[in-house]
Amino acid sequence: MDTQELNIEALEKNLPQVLRFVDDLLELAGCPVKTQLQIDLAVEEIFVNIADYAYAPGEGSAVIRAEISENPRKAVITFFDRGIPYDPLEKKDPDVTLSAGERPVGGLGIFLTKKSMDEVTYAYKDGQNVLTMIKRW
């Protein structure tokens, strides 16, 4: 298993850099494009959540650890931040049966993360939010 880490300022404008880091590793491991897009989706939602809320109203950094293996074919991506302790998985899933008029704008990010990955877990360890997500293909 190949493990790589990216330490980056948690700012929305750094999203393309975060996605490039993950996508380059997935491509090397021969991950199919469709799976890659599903992983990108989850990575975007979690990174943007950290950028928007973890250190608000200030700023801070995040570490993204990617462990990608070809046998078995699996990606384990972990996000670490030292912001406000927050478990995004506790958030109730949105009601996806509501009509356009009844729908709040937003609130789908974590839900999409859970749907596009095989496993998502959260822990608060050593003063850090640790969110781990796993995808197999």
Residue ranges binding another protein (CB under 8 A): 12-13, 15-16, 34, 37-38, 40-41, 44-45, 48, 96-101, 103, 105-106, 108-109, 111-112, 115
Instruction: Say if CB 4 and CB 22 are below 8 A apart.
Output: no
For the bound state, the minimum distance from the C-beta of residue 6 to another protein, rounded and expressed in Å, comes to 17
For the bound state, the minimum distance from the C-beta of residue 37 to another protein, rounded and expressed in Å, comes to 5
DSSP readout, 68-127?
A: EEETTEEEEEEEEE-SS---GGGSPPP-TTS-GGG--S---HHHHHHHHSSEEEEEEETT
For the bound state, the minimum distance from the C-beta of residue 46 to another protein, rounded and expressed in Å, comes to 11
Nearer to another protein, 57 or 100 (CB): 100
Nearer to another protein, 14 or 69 (CB): 14
Residue type, 109: G
Nearer to another protein, 30 or 107 (CB): 107
For the bound state, the minimum distance from the C-beta of residue 97 to another protein, rounded and expressed in Å, comes to 6
The neighbouring-strand residues paired with 78 are 65, 132
Nearer to another protein, 48 or 130 (CB): 48
CA–CA gap between residue 53 and residue 115 (Å, rounded): 22
